[in-house]
Structure 1
Amino acid sequence: MGRFICKRLAATILVIVAASMLTFGILHLTPGSTPATILKYAFIGLEEIPTDAEITEITTRFKLSDPLYQQYYRWIKQALRGDLGDSYVYRLPVAELIGLRFPATALLAVLSVTLSLLISIPLGILCAVKRNTFFDHFNRLLALFAVAMPSFWLAYLLIIVFSLGFNLFPVAGFRSLSSLVLPCVTLAAGMGAVTLRIMRSSMLEVMGQDYILTARSKGLYERSVIAKHALKNAFLPVVTVVGLQFGHMLGGSVIVETVFSWPGIGKLLIDSIFAKDIPVVQGCILLIAGTYALVNLLVDLSYALMDPRIRYGRES
C-alpha cells in the first residue's frame, strides 16, 4: 500500500507541474499584449487605450519582459515556499483570493453531489431490478436527455422558467440559500444521469453473478439479496465516476459558475484568463489539478476497503 501511495503522489506532482507549464505557455501565446490587457482590466478601463509609458510601467512592475522560463522559474520557486504570488488585477495574494472563493465552490459541489446521489442511486437500482419495464425505459430515456443536454443550455432554461418566469429563485450571485437551487440542479442533472446509467449497468452485471444465484437459491428475499450481496460490489464503478466528478466540481465548474455568476473558483478562473492575470490562473490550475489527483487517490484507496481482493502492492 505504501508503494502505491508513493507512486500516486509522484504522479500527482508530475501532473501538477505539467499542467502549470502548459497553462503558463498557452497564456503567453494568446493574442494581445499582456501588459495592455492588465492595464485595461485593472487600471484604466476596457474602453481606454494604454499609453506606451503605462505599458512600460506595468511591464517593469511585474517583470513581464523577462524570458518565459525565468518568469515560470520564479513562480514555481515561490509556489514551493507556499507563495503563489500576487494578482495583477485584484492586487491581493493569490492564496487569499482562492481561500475567499473556494468555500462557495465547495458548498456548491457538496450539495450538487448529494442531490445527484440521492436521486440517481435509488433510480439506478430500481431500473436494474425492474429491467425492461416502462419504469426502466422512461428513466433511461430521461437520463439520455440529461447527459446530452449541455449544462449552459439547461442553466439558461432554468433561469428563464424559474427566475424570469415564476420569479422563484435569484438569477445570479450568492445572496441567500435560494441562490443555490438552480446551480445545484444544473450540476446534479448531468452528474446524476451518468451515475444512474452506471449504477444500473453495474447492478445488472452483479446480479448475473453466481453468488447472487446461490443467495437466491437459499431462499433469501430479493430485497436481502440486493442489499447484502449485490450493492457492495455494484458500487465500485460508481465510486470511481462520482469521485472524479466531485473532483471536477471542487476544482470549479467553470460553465455553471460563469452562467450564474457564482463567486467560486471557476468564475475566478474565467475572469483571470480574460484579464491575463497569470498568477491567479496558475494558482487555480494548481488547485484544480491537485484536487483531481487527491480525489483520484482517495477513490483508489477506497477500493481496498470495499473489495479486500484488491492488492495495490502487487501492481507492476
Structure 2
Amino acid sequence: MSEPVALSRATALDNNPRSRGPRLRGGARNLSPWTEYAIRRGGGVLLSLAILVVVTFFMVPLIPGDPAVAVAGADATSEQIDAIRHSLGLNDPLWLRFLNYVGDLATGNLGNSFAYSTSVTTIIATKLPYTAELALLGITAVLLISIPAGMSVGILTRGNRRKWLDVAFGMVTGFFQAVPQYVLATILVVLFAITWRILPAAGAATLTALILPVVGLSVGPICSISRVVRRETSTVLEQDYLRTARGWRLPALRLYARHTLPNLLTTALTLAGLILSGMLGGAIIIENVFNWPGVGKEIVTAIVNKDYPVIQGIILVLGFLAIVLNLLVDVILGLIDPRTLGGKRSNG
C-alpha cells in the first residue's frame, strides 16, 4: 500500500466518530457514569474521613476535667495523678498525641479505655450490635409506615379533595415532628411502663423491651418522611402520564404501585439514608432514657469518666458508619435512576 493511500485511510478513520471512543474536553477519553461517580465520591469519602479523624481527636480534649483525676479517684495524691497522666500519655504535646492517634488508626487500633483498661475495639464490638439493632428496626418502621401513609394521604387529597384530611395530617405530623426525642421517650415511659404497666421501661432482657425505644426513635422520622412523600405524591399525580393512566381506567394497585411509587423512591430513600445516619446519633438520647446497652449509653458514661479513647472511638465509628450508609444509599439510587450519578443516560 502506498504512503499517500495509507495516510488518507488513517485520516478518514480518525475523522470517523465511530472509530473513536467518546472524548471529554481537551481530548481525554470519556469515562462511564459509574467510574466518574466512583472517582468523585471516593475523593469525597476520603476527605470526609480525614475531617472526621481531625475533628474527633481535637474536640475530645475540650471536655472539661482531667482524665487522670477521673481514673485515679477523688482520694488520689498529686503524685499518683501525675504518674497516671504520664502512663496515659497526657503529658505529651498535643501534636505528638495526634500523630500517635493517627498511627494507631492506620493499624486499626482505637486504643485502650482509660477507665477499664480494655480495648476500645472490644467495647464498641460489644455495644454496637444493640445500637445497630435499634437503628435498623427504627428505619424499617419508618419506611413501612411513612411511605404508605404519605402516599395514601396524597392520593385521598388529590386535587384539593378532603381538605380536612390534609390539614389534620399536617397538624398531627408537624406536632410529633417537633416534639424532642427525650420528651417523647419520657412520655412513653410514663404512659406504657409506669401508668399502664404494659411494656418494660428499660433494659434489653426481652423482645418487648425493644418496642418503646424503637417507637421513641422512629416517630419523628416517620412524620418527616410521610410529609415529604405526601407532597411528592401530590406532585407526581398531576403529571401528564398519570393523568393518561387514570384515563385508561387502570386498576388502582397498578396505577399507584407501578407508576407512582417508583417516582417517590428517590426522595424517600435519600431521606431514609440521612435519617438512618441521624438515628445512630439520636440513639444516644433514646438509649439513655431506656437504659439500652448500646454505644449511645456507653459514650455518655465515657464523657462522665473523661475516657478519651472510648469517646473518640465511638464518634469515629458512628461517623464512619454514617459515611458508608450515605454512600450505600447513593449507590442504590444510582441503580434505580442512573441520572442521580451525575452522568447522562445513554441514547443507544
Given the two structures, how large is their TM-score scaled by the length of structure 1? 0.91
Q: 1:91 aligns with which of 80, 99, 117?
A: 117
Deviation (angstroms), 1:49: 4.0
Q: 1:70 aligns with which of 93, 96, 100?
A: 96
1:307 to 1:140, Cα distance in 2 relative to 1, 3 A: same
Q: 1:285 aligns with which of 315, 318, 335?
A: 315
For residues 40-189 of structure 1, what are the structure 2 equivalents within 5 Å? 44=73, 48-131=74-157, 132-133=161-162, 134-189=164-219
Identity %: 33
Q: 1:11 aligns to what?
A: 44
Q: Determine the C-alpha separation between the residues in 2 that align with 1:152 and 1:252.
A: 10
- Note if contact 1:199-1:238 (Cα within 8 Å) is conserved in structure 2: yes
Question: After alignment, is 15-24 or 191-200 more displaced?
Answer: 15-24
- Note if contact 2:273-2:329 (Cα within 8 Å) is conserved in structure 1: yes
Q: 2:59 aligns to what?
A: 26
Question: After alignment, is 55-64 or 220-229 more displaced?
Answer: 220-229
Given the two structures, how large is their TM-score scaled by the length of structure 2? 0.83
Q: Determine the C-alpha separation between the residues in 2 that align with 1:89 and 1:248.
A: 28
Deviation (angstroms), 1:245: 1.3
Which AA in structure 1 matches 2:42?
L
Gaps of 5+ in 2: 1-33
Aligned residue pairs, count: 307
1:297 aligns with 2:323: no
Q: 1:263 aligns with which of 282, 293, 306?
A: 293
- Note if contact 1:202-1:234 (Cα within 8 Å) is conserved in structure 2: yes
Note the aligned Cα RMSD (angstroms): 1.8
Q: Determine the C-alpha separation between the residues in 1 that align with 2:104 and 2:343.
A: 35
1:214 aligns with 2:244: yes
Q: 1:272 aligns to what?
A: 302
Deviation (angstroms), 1:309: 3.6
Q: Which has the larger radius of gyration?
A: 2
What secondary structure is seen at the aligned counterpart in 2 of 1:216? helix
Deviation (angstroms), 1:311: 4.0
Q: Determine the C-alpha separation between the residues in 2 that align with 1:308 and 1:25.
A: 39
- Note if contact 1:20-1:285 (Cα within 8 Å) is conserved in structure 2: no
Gaps of 5+ in 1: none
- Note if contact 1:117-1:192 (Cα within 8 Å) is conserved in structure 2: yes
Q: 2:70 aligns to what?
A: 37
Deviation (angstroms), 1:250: 3.8
Q: Determine the C-alpha separation between the residues in 2 that align with 1:127 and 1:285.
A: 39
- Note if contact 2:217-2:282 (Cα within 8 Å) is conserved in structure 1: no
Q: Determine the C-alpha separation between the residues in 2 that align with 1:242 and 1:38.
A: 41
- Note if contact 1:257-1:264 (Cα within 8 Å) is conserved in structure 2: yes
Q: 1:237 aligns to what?
A: 267
Deviation (angstroms), 1:232: 0.1
Question: After alignment, is 207-216 or 58-67 more displaced?
Answer: 207-216
Q: 2:17 aligns to what?
A: none
Q: Determine the C-alpha separation between the residues in 2 that align with 1:151 and 1:121.
A: 21
Q: 2:257 aligns to what?
A: 227
Q: Determine the C-alpha separation between the residues in 1 that align with 2:265 and 2:343.
A: 23
What secondary structure is seen at the aligned counterpart in 1 of 2:333? helix
Deviation (angstroms), 1:231: 0.7
1:152-195 Cα shifts (integer Å, max 9, x gaps): 00111111111111222222221111111110110110111111
Q: 1:198 aligns to what?
A: 228
Which AA in structure 2 matches 1:266?
G
